[in-house]
Amino acid sequence: MTEELEQLHNLELLLALEVLRICEKHKLKIVMLAGTFLGAIRHNGFIPWDDDMDFGMPRKDFEKFKELCSSDLDSEKYFLQTDQTDLNYPFNFVKLRLNNTHVSEEFSLDANVHSGIYIDIFPIDDICPKSFQRFVQLKGFWLFRNLLWIKCGYGDNDRKKRLTFKLVKIASSAFSISFLKKMKHKCILLGQNKVADTVVVSDGSYGLKKESFPKAWLDEVEKYSFDNIKLWGMKNYEAYLRHMYGDYMQLPPENQRNHHKRIKIDFGPYAEK
């Protein structure tokens, strides 16, 4: 692990502790997701080459968390980034960012948004039980999400060279950012107030199918060691990690060890002397 990545991990843990403080104070459910949960189980902390942290909250708790941050978050130190705080922020998950720091990533290089060091907190949404409603919910969300993040300037260099990207860019010009955000939000919430047995982390990086799992997995949670702290995760971690990664204890080949294509990190006042 490089010294820079170790510094990044330390600041992400600082952010995670702040999220944990608010959630435990107000009895909100929050769990580790994806590579963060895998890291807790396989490495007792960060996957050595990983460079972010992902958490999920049931939609009701997620909305409450956003509301509480307006009064319970140290705004001098932290910034909760949502699709309402930054016009060009297209996602339905939020980022808790560290003020006075900066991270440049290829995917978001052209987006004019707050760019402090961050962790991600995702809403976990109910999926419509009826097939037609489910189709509208997930396909509609997928369509408006892709129009939105391309319109807002997101995309790595390889994607931006593709013809499909350029065509979607042209198509997105027919809609305003606010309209696309409204429609994306409306689609993903179609499963609310219905008897759902499946949930989805809709803006996760593994795709809607892979990011869907039984709602019952969220019923029981427990704490797991993560570096020098403890974080919440699903009690049935084996089922979740098998669903996401198959043989999750097997290390992937080096060419499949993904990161966010960081270009530059400025640790600001947190830089180690």
For the stretch 188-227, pLDDT in tens is 999 998 889 999 999 998 999 999 999 999 999 999 999 9
Q: Domain map of the chain by residue range?
A: 3-128+200-270
Which of 178, 180, 116 lies closest to 146 in space, CA to CA?
A: 180
Dihedrals phi, psi of 45, to nearest 5 degrees: 165, -150
**How much is the mean pLDDT over the chain?**
91
CATH code, residues 3-128+200-270: 3.30.460
Name 56's bridge partners: 31, 122
Measured CA distances, 47 to 44, 179, 249, 255, 257 (Å):
9, 38, 11, 15, 10
Mean pLDDT of 118-135: 96
Mean pLDDT of 9-30: 96
Confidence (pLDDT) at 220 = 96
Report residue 23's pLDDT band, with 50, 70 and 90 as the boundaries: very high
Dist. CA 102–CA 264, nearest whole Å:
8
Contact 16, 53 (CB under 8 A): yes
Dist. CA 27–CA 191, nearest whole Å:
24
Q: Is the pLDDT of residue 260 over 70?
A: no
pTM score? 0.91
